Amino acid sequence: MTTNNNTGPQTDRSTFRQLIPFLVLALVGTILVAGFIHDLERKNVETEFRELAEQKIATVRSNIAVTLDIVDLVAGHFAVAPEQSTSRDGFARMLAPLIERYRFIQGISWDPLVKPQEIPAYEAAARRDGLANFIVYERSREGAVVPVAPRTEHSPVYFMEPRTGNEAAIGFDLASNPIRKAALDAARDSGKSKVTGRITLVQEKGKQYGVLILGPVYRGGHAGDAQERRDNLIGHISGVYRLGDLIDSTASSTERAAGSKFLRVFLLDLAAEDKDRLLHPFGAEVTREGLLSGMHLEESFEMAGRQWQLIVAPTNEFKAARQPFLWIGALGVALAASTGLYFYLKGRIDAMTAAVVGARKLRKVRDHLELTQSLAEVASFRFGRLDGTVEIDERAAAMLGLDPKDGEMSLEGILARVSSSEIEHIARALRSAKDADLEFIVDRPDGARTIQARTHNRIDDESVRTTVALQDVTSRRAAEAERLSMIRAMAESSRFESLGVLAAGIAHEINTPLQYVSSNLSFLGDEIPPLVDAVGVLQRGGDAAPPAPGPSVDVDFLKIEVPAAIKQMQDGLTRITEIVQAVKDFAHPSNKEMARNDINDIVRRSVTISRNYWKHAANLHFDLAANLPMVDCIASEIGQVVVNLISNAADAVEDAGRVGTTGRIDVSSRAVGESVEIVVRDNGCGIPKSIKDRVFDPFFTTKAPGRGTGQGLSIVRTIVVGTHKGIIDLESEVGAGTTITIRLPLRAEREG
């Protein structure tokens, strides 16, 4: 018997040859899978970067928008306040809340327009205010303080808040610097706030570029055309910002969560020359083209007359932490696998790929959830309605001001820092099977916090559980209160601005009845002396028959005309009294206290004070219901609402070309259930459907420049809905007119 010793090797070679196609397929498949994993990791890195960059850009854009809003707000105050009525201390009190809230503000200043001959008076006034060494100055090329050079007008920094850290800027003449002067002139001629190119601030001690945002202030708040703007300019409001502080500010949890150490933010001024384009960071040796060539996210926007661009790029730390390595391991494992395990390894690779993708998604969902909870300041705990146990995590415990040693506490324990007057109400809601919304105060070691809670009940295998979602709304409540306070301040300023606009018309309305009184007094002055002489003759006649009146006295004429003259004077004086009382009521500072008021009286006074504004545009008709019930309201604020609505109606009539007898405004009132309605209807141009939902937004206006600020209807909504808890309804048809209905509850909601 013979044995074929070559069978084994030949079989191995044959098997190897048969497996060659599978090995090739395995190699190709391995390369494809490794490439897919590499591409997946790269896309995940790009997605993560984009999410962080978008959050960073949103934060920076928000800070930039705030800088412009602050300048416009302060400029608006100076525009409506009487000239020189704002003191240095008043300026400081007005800005203190803004400076405390927005730490990136370097300073806000009032820079009056000063003629050369007025400089000594301004310097003396500033020294009386406590600035012992105040002078108006400029800087030489070497940076030394020198007296201002002769020029037609100066713009010294007069008020500056905060003073600490900005002492070097007080008294500096902005008009002495070409970059600042160009922005001053642009703001003056355009009537809008303008930003300078990059500058080195007078008070700069570190290494940051700065800019000024300059808001023009005109006498009486009126700008007009370019020449009128130059004639009426009284100064500027300057917002002083160090761009490094503006961009790197991490006051918000949103920015901290965005991972600032992994991102670099570049701010460019595209309106500047190439060498002066970079606004942040200071002295960085980069080019715009170089930044745009790598991984980045950019956004361009218009900033107070200049084109700015934000570019966010990843740092080396970000890149190093997210280098894709998984594909290399996958490739090595696949290449080391034997031919016989090919399909097994392929299945494992597919499973691994799915596991990797799923794990990444799960991690992203978890990270996103944690980030969302952190940003929204939310947490939750569970309460057993049957056994009274509480399962609470660290986030919820911290929100309630607790430091639990384990995962379970009693209901009384978790409510230990809640106001005692609210505990029983909260406990009843938690033990109830119904879902409920709660809000209460927690006295935490870091200060009192306002917490909102929503209960959700479910039944599981263990016990009846109530899940309680918590959210810290302290910051939101504070922001809402601050916003309402600011809008109320704007409404108060708007009321005095309206009074200023209507002042000339009010003077004309008073002048007409004054002419009645003057003319009739002249008539009586001419006619009464002869009558007195005739009476004297009668008295001297004694018992004799009275002589006939002289030819100069027409007794029948005087019997008719003298009473008529007296009646006209009485009517004229009554009309003057009505107008003066209406102005007094409208201009009287509001005490913000609700009182019982007659709505019809408020409407009549508002129509009286605005008469000269609407009488040339339209005929106004009343339909005021008799015996209206008294309404809890702030009379001056409701009067402002009616004036704003009538002014808008008059403008709409003029825009429609129905001026005079064809223009019509109807003002009516009526009682509806437990409320009173005021309706203002016009046959003006109407409001397109595309913008109907925006007319009550702040600063939105369709009027030409100079005819409105866009605050009128926004203030109306704040007063009616915010302060008085009322309702506004608007109906309009283009070309037919607009009807606005205001509904006020008879009784105000009172706290406590």
Asked if residue 586 lies in contact with residue 605, where contact means CB atoms within 8 angstroms, the answer is: yes
Alpha-carbon distance of 144 to 137, in angstroms, equals 10
Identify the CA nearest to 514 among candidates 587, 581, 577, 604.
Answer: 577
Percent pLDDT > 70 in the chain is 70
CA-based nearest residue to 198, from 252, 257, 266: 266
Question: Using 50, 70 and 90 to split pLDDT, how confident is the model at 611?
Answer: confident
Q: What pairing do the DSSP bridges indicate for beta strands 619-624 and 664-672?
A: parallel
How large is the average pLDDT for residues 283-292? Answer: 83
Residue 423, pLDDT > 90, answer: no
DSSP letters of 599-623?
HHHHHHHHHHHTHHHHTTT-EEEEE
pLDDT over threshold 70, residue 102: yes
Q: Which residues of 32-43 are buried (b: 16+ CB within 10 A; e: fewer)?
A: ebbeebbebbee
Query: If we measure between CA atoms, which residue out of 645, 736, 636, 656 comes closest to residue 696?
Result: 645
- Give the pLDDT band (50/70/90) at residue 596: very high
CB atoms within 10 A of CB 673: 9
pLDDT of residue 579: 63
Cα distance between residue 265 and residue 263, in whole Å:
7
Angstrom distance (rounded) from CA 280 to CA 267: 5
**pLDDT-wise least confident of 196-200, 434-438, 522-526, 702-706:** 702-706
**pLDDT of 689 higher than 80:** yes
Q: How far is CA 171 from the centre of its chain?
A: 31
Class level of CATH domain 378-472: alpha beta
Q: What is the pLDDT of residue 727?
A: 92
Least confident of 50-54, 464-468, 650-654, 656-660: 656-660
Coil, helix or strand at residue 452: strand
- Residue 650 scores a pLDDT above 50: yes
For residue 157, the model assigns a pLDDT of 93
Q: What is the pLDDT of residue 526?
A: 66
Q: What is the mean pLDDT of residues 687-716?
A: 68
Mean pLDDT of 107-130: 91
| Fold adopted by 480-745 | Heat Shock Protein 90 (3.30.565)
Cβ-based neighbours of 166, under 8 Å, separated by 6 or more = 106, 107, 109, 160, 203, 240
Rounded Cα distance between 366 and 226, Å, is 58
Could you read off the pLDDT of 356-383 as tens digits, one per residue?
Answer: 556 566 566 455 445 444 544 678 788 8
pLDDT interval class at 715 (50, 70, 90): confident
pLDDT of residue 137: 92
334 or 661, greater pLDDT: 661
CB-based contacts of 233, cutoff 8 Å, min separation 6 = 113, 188, 216, 217, 218, 219
Q: What is d(CA 598, CA 81) in angstroms, rounded to the nearest whole number?
A: 30
For residue 678, what pLDDT band results from cuts at 50, 70 and 90?
very high
Residue 451's DSSP bridge partners are 440, 472
Element (H, E) at 312: strand 306-314
Ranges 73-87, 389-403, 700-714, most confident: 73-87
Residue 731 has a pLDDT of: 92
59-314 falls under which CATH superfamily? CHASE domain (3.30.450.350)
Beta-sheet pairing, 675-682 with 727-733: unpaired
pLDDT category at 253 given cuts 50, 70, 90 is: very low
Residues 307 and 270 sit within 8 Å (Cβ to Cβ):
yes
With CA atoms as reference, report the closest residue to 489 among 653, 298, 723.
723
What pLDDT score does 153 carry? 92
* Nearest alpha-carbon partner for 451 in 483, 475, 432: 475
**DSSP symbols for 162-219:** S-TT-GGGTTBBGGGSHHHHHHHHHHHHHSS-EE---B--TT--SS--EEEEEEEEEG
Q: For residues 664 and 192, what is the distance between their CA atoms, to the nearest angstrom?
A: 35
CATH fold match for the domains 378-472 and 480-745: no
**71-80, 598-607, 656-665: which range is least confident on average?**
656-665
**Residue with the two structure tokens 């402002």:** 640
- Report the distance separating Cα 615 and Cα 621, nearest Å: 11
Mean pLDDT of the chain: 77
How far apart are the C-alpha atoms of 685 and 703, rounded to whole Å? 12
CA distance 233 to 364: 56
Share of the chain above pLDDT 90, in %: 16
pLDDT higher than 80, residue 247? yes
Cβ–Cβ < 8 Å for 661, 679:
no
> Which tokens go with 192?
């809008």
Query: Does the pLDDT value for residue 1 go beyond 50?
Result: no
pLDDT at 346: 46
CB count, 10 Å around CB of 370? 12
User: What's the confidence (pLDDT) of residue 705?
Assistant: 45
pLDDT at 631: 94
Compute φ and ψ for 380, nearest 5 degrees: -155, 160
The encoded tokens of residue 465 equal 């559980």
Of 3-17, 223-237, 493-507, highest mean pLDDT = 223-237
pLDDT range class, residue 117, cuts 50, 70, 90: very high
Domain positions in the chain? 59-314, 378-472, 480-745
The reported pTM is: 0.42
Contact at 8 Å (CB) between 714 and 696?
yes
* Structural element, H or E, at residue 383: strand 378-384
Rounded to 5°, angle at Cα 647 from 720 and 76: 75
Can you give the pLDDT at residue 399? 81
How far apart (Å, rounded) are the C-alpha atoms in residues 274 and 288? 9
Give the angle subtended at the CA of 383 by the CAs of 380 and 384, to the nearest 5°: 155
Residues in the chain: 752
For the ranges 1-5, 362-366, 446-450, 583-587, the one whose mean pLDDT is highest = 446-450
Task: Note the pLDDT of residue 710.
Answer: 47
Query: Which two structure tokens, joined as six digits, stand for 452?
Result: 């909102």
- Is pLDDT above 70 for 347? no
The lowest-confidence range among 133-142, 302-311, 434-443, 566-575 is: 566-575
Across 44-58, 400-414, 536-550, 623-637, the highest mean pLDDT is recorded for 623-637
For 114, the 3-state DSSP assignment is strand
Residue 46, phi-psi category: left (phi > 0), alpha (psi -120 to 50), beta (remainder): alpha
Average pLDDT over residues 292-313: 88
What pLDDT is attached to residue 582? 58
Rounded mean pLDDT, 241-270: 70
